[in-house]
Amino acid sequence: MSHDTTSPLILSPDARGNYVTWAKGKRQVRNLLVQAGYKPSGLFRARKENKNEFSILAHKGGYAFRVTASRIPGAELYFTPNTLTH
């Protein structure tokens, strides 16, 4: 099972420029996941591990997915099945 909506989930740029801030990007990712029917769980991977990518675990339909997105405007959210639940 993977993301099954017809439109891709993408990040929007910050109003102040053509970039995605860490705080607003995390908020966008969580909101996009909830709108698509996923339940984000836990915290985002620490920024110091990879400052150019958002990564969080999300659940839907009894399955867990690692959701990642580059920290750039227009970046699409990618869903990778968590091997412990599939």
- Residue 81 pairs in a beta bridge with 65
What phi, psi does 78 have (nearest 5°)? -110, 135
pLDDT of residue 2: 53
pLDDT tens-digit series, residues 1-55: 455 555 789 999 999 999 999 999 999 999 999 999 999 999 999 999 999 999 9
pTM comes to 0.87
